Structure 1
Amino acid sequence: MPEPSESDRRKAARLQPAMAATRLVDCLERGWDVQFRCQYCGMERTWGRREFLGQRLRKRLARTIAQVQAGVFCPQRGCGGHWPIVRLMQGGYQDAQADTPAAQRAHLVTMLLDAGVLPEQVGL
């Protein structure tokens, strides 16, 4: 089977407009995980709550999925592929107390403050 062309790779990585505009902080609020799959070597990486609130991604929570996709490269040694295929998945954590939008927002603000992130820094 022939190697996919660059235009085929761009088509595979194309995001739906609503997904492209979703910010990482919105994924954190809704309990979504972001999965990246390299188009060159097939390696998959998933970012969840722990990664969102970790040192590396804390500063990037205000970025959209499209901005993140444009800046992410495959971590596999020797690959370095760009423009991964991105999927949003329901995470393995559910917050029982966050059943209304106001409660979800309050819980998100509490999570951010506990991690040392000011809500203003991520656009809330």
Structure 2
Amino acid sequence: MIKRTSQDIRRLNRFEVLRHVYAGPGAMSRQDLAAATGLSFATVANLAAELLEASVLLEAGREDSSGGRPRTRLAVNAERGALIGVDIAETSVHAELFDLTLAVRHSVEQSTTSWS
């Protein structure tokens, strides 16, 4: 049996919250995240506060609730980082730069036939 520390559990919970924000249908409220992850609302609220402070997530508007305060929706901060993908084929090299929402920011293709 693997022994996990409280830091390990917190890291796994943070990953789970981020995974649902990335894979979800768009921006999600803390309540939606609690329901999707099975974590308590308090845990999700604490993790969301950490991720907002680190600028990994950002507030993306509000939604009406069926009672009480409007819910703040959370989304991935696209400007927080970038990813690059490279496809090396027989006749060309294709590279794309993505933001963290996986939107293409720049794309370039170079033929390898001119390299010989």
Fold match (TM-score > 0.5): no
TM-score interval, normalised by the smaller of the two chains: under 0.3
Q: Where is the strand percentage greater, Structure 1 or Structure 2?
A: 2
TM-score normalised by structure 1 residue count = 0.23
Q: Which has the larger radius of gyration?
A: 2
TM-score normalised by structure 2 residue count = 0.23
